[in-house]
Structure 1
Amino acid sequence: MQYVRGMPQSAKSPRTSGTSETPERSSAVGRAAAQKLKMRRELAAAAMELFATKGYEATTVDEIAAAAGVARRTFFRHFRSKEEAIFPDHDDTLIRAEAVLNAAPAHEHPLDTVCRGIKEVMRMYAAQPDISVARYRLTREVPTLREAEIASVARYERLFTRYLLGHFDERDHHDGNDDPLLAEVAASAVVTAHNHVLRRWLRADGQGDVEAQLDHAFAIVRRTFGMGIGAGRSTEDEPQAPVSATSSGDVLVTVTRTDTPLDQIMRTIEQALHGRR
């Protein structure tokens, strides 16, 4: 099986039409995006306040727009419905998570890259803990909002699954090679670990070092799935990171670079140990 981790994962380049992107235009685009996100957050804050005071079902789009000081048509330029109004950052966060994947260094294990990507989601929630906690409580009470939240989570899971599967040749799925299966299961495990830590943090009213908790959960995922992914792949086309293990008596010595992927180090150690039996 060909593992294509060494292939560069570059971000999509903007279309060009004979003219280069000027710093002024780039700055203007950045300001427009920031202004759009600011308005989405203001509409979301107004919606959350009305939901808390009037109730979700009794609140109308017109009331949300009026509370935010904008017209009804402005609301619908940013959201298709009031359900979407309490998730203003998911689109932007999905873009940032994908950017992490696209900019991943070639030597990084793809599972580590996915773990870094989903941290963007956690940071979105942690940036506004009070709103995140209130939104969590609301989604527990309103089935429609719960379904919208599940749909948002599914988007992240599809992104990470595509990324992991993109590092393996799915046509080489044969007996003894379970990499495509492991890749899909690992993506689900990363999302599940993130959601478990997030729910625990939200139930604690947003208290505690949530990023440290997430790192602990990801370490468990890596130990469970990271060693298996790519364990049986062919390495003839894969750049070899410098790692060696030699044994003498009861002592095993391993020499490796600090940037060598952990899964490759562990495989080398395991092969050395097996060779002594």
Structure 2
Amino acid sequence: MQYVQLMSQPAKSPRPRNTAGAPESAAGSRAAAQRLKMRRELATAAMELFSTKGYEATTVDEIAAAAGVARRTFFRHFRSKEEAIFPDHDDTLVRAEAVLNAAPAHEHPLDTVCRGIKEVMRMYAASPAVSVARYRLTREVPTLREREIASVARYERLFTRYLLGHFDERDHHDGNGDPLLAEVAASAVVTAHNHVLRRWLRAGGEGDVESRLDHAFAIVRETFGTGIGAGRSRGPEKVPEAAEARVSPVADGGGDGVLVAVARTDAPLDDVMRTIERALREHRG
């Protein structure tokens, strides 16, 4: 799989310019922070009620009352009580996508994906006690488990699209295995993350989870990195040609040398012959 650097595309619908300057941006940031704060307060209230009364016995009205807000406020933030158990996934998905969008040109796409999914681990690690309680609850309630699986699928789709978008468009043809490899690699990154996360949660949220995650990602990169490709263009480096040829000395000293040619199996024969002829002309002076 050969990756190429993609040029940034203009936004489909540019945002209107902010003529008022910084205040509008600051107001937007405050609103986002207040929204996240309320979502977390509702989620905390839901968690406490689920733990004491049980999931099935807890109502939305009770969650809203415990958080000190009206029922309609709850539904401005969540569509259902099971959704309240995962308040940060939407924002974390945005942060993970931002990591992908801001990736440096020289970084291998698989490394970028590994950095992106670290945002998910940081979300869990920010509140170990809550994360552990939520993990135990999702093991007991099938509805919450299904919600968790749906959240994981969103990350996997994001990372698959990213990997698919970074190999040479000319390789999109029937019989080419690169799209499958991109999907498998994205799944492997998510699986490695979830494996480390589950072990950390089962251990009560203790230990250096990030170093364990780096070790798991190293295994993924070793398994898929070479097959996926050498990475995006690194600027002035020369892109490998379809064929290369050079004259090397004969080991026993007899003769002027031998011509060594290396070509891709899909290289056009005319290109290979021109490369050989050019190498011979250069050697003969």
Q: TM-score range by the shorter chain?
A: 0.7 to 0.9
In the alignment, residue 122 of structure 1 is paired with which amino acid? M
Deviates more, 1:163-172 or 1:85-94: 163-172
| Contact 2:42–2:64 (8 Å) recurs in 1 | yes
Distance, in Å, in 1 between the alignment partners of 2:61 and 2:177 is: 53
Root-mean-square deviation (Å): 2.5
Q: CA deviation at 1:239?
A: 4.0
Distance, in Å, in 1 between the alignment partners of 2:20 and 2:128 is: 37
| Contact 1:3–1:238 (8 Å) recurs in 2 | no
In the alignment, residue 134 of structure 2 is paired with which amino acid? R
Q: Tell me the SS of whatever aligns to 2:227.
A: coil
Equivalent pairs: percent with the same residue? 81
| Contact 1:179–1:230 (8 Å) recurs in 2 | no
- Structure 2: unaligned runs, 5 residues or longer: 239-285
Paired position in structure 2 for 1:119: 118
Distance of aligned partners of 1:208 and 1:37 in 2 relative to their CA distance in 1, 3 Å threshold: same
Q: CA deviation at 1:19?
A: 4.5
Distance, in Å, in 2 between the alignment partners of 1:202 and 1:12 is: 40
Paired position in structure 1 for 2:274: none
| Contact 2:2–2:229 (8 Å) recurs in 1 | no
Paired position in structure 2 for 1:3: 3
| Contact 2:113–2:159 (8 Å) recurs in 1 | yes
- Report the TM-score, using the length of structure 1 for normalisation: 0.80
Q: CA deviation at 1:168?
A: 1.7
Q: Tell me the SS of whatever aligns to 2:228.
A: coil
- Residue 223 (structure 1) aligned with residue 222 (structure 2): yes
Q: How does 1:10-21 map to 2 (within 5 A)?
A: 15-17=14-16, 19-20=18-19
| Contact 1:125–1:132 (8 Å) recurs in 2 | yes
Distance of aligned partners of 1:13 and 1:57 in 2 relative to their CA distance in 1, 3 Å threshold: same
Q: How does 1:26-105 map to 2 (within 5 A)?
A: 26-105=25-104
Q: CA deviation at 1:185?
A: 0.6
| Contact 1:47–1:86 (8 Å) recurs in 2 | yes
Distance, in Å, in 1 between the alignment partners of 2:143 and 2:108 is: 38
- Report the TM-score, using the length of structure 2 for normalisation: 0.78
Distance of aligned partners of 1:109 and 1:20 in 2 relative to their CA distance in 1, 3 Å threshold: farther
Distance, in Å, in 2 between the alignment partners of 1:220 and 1:207 is: 23
Distance, in Å, in 2 between the alignment partners of 1:230 and 1:53 is: 52
In the alignment, residue 87 of structure 2 is paired with which amino acid? P
- Residue 144 (structure 1) aligned with residue 151 (structure 2): no
Q: Tell me the SS of whatever aligns to 2:211.
A: helix
Q: CA deviation at 1:184?
A: 1.0
Distance, in Å, in 1 between the alignment partners of 2:210 and 2:51 is: 28
Distance of aligned partners of 1:188 and 1:20 in 2 relative to their CA distance in 1, 3 Å threshold: farther
Q: CA deviation at 1:49?
A: 0.2
Distance, in Å, in 1 between the alignment partners of 2:182 and 2:168 is: 11
Distance, in Å, in 1 between the alignment partners of 2:157 and 2:172 is: 20
Question: Number of aligned pairs?
Answer: 239
Q: CA deviation at 1:192?
A: 0.3
Q: Tell me the SS of whatever aligns to 2:229.
A: coil
Distance of aligned partners of 1:177 and 1:214 in 2 relative to their CA distance in 1, 3 Å threshold: same
Distance, in Å, in 1 between the alignment partners of 2:197 and 2:112 is: 19
Distance, in Å, in 1 between the alignment partners of 2:10 and 2:101 is: 5
The superposition leaves residues 153-208 of structure 1 with CA deviations (integer Å, 9 ceiling, x where unpaired) of: 00000000000000024562458853222111100000000000000000000000
Q: CA deviation at 1:230?
A: 2.2
Q: CA deviation at 1:14?
A: 7.7
Paired position in structure 1 for 2:275: none
Distance, in Å, in 2 between the alignment partners of 1:63 and 1:11 is: 46
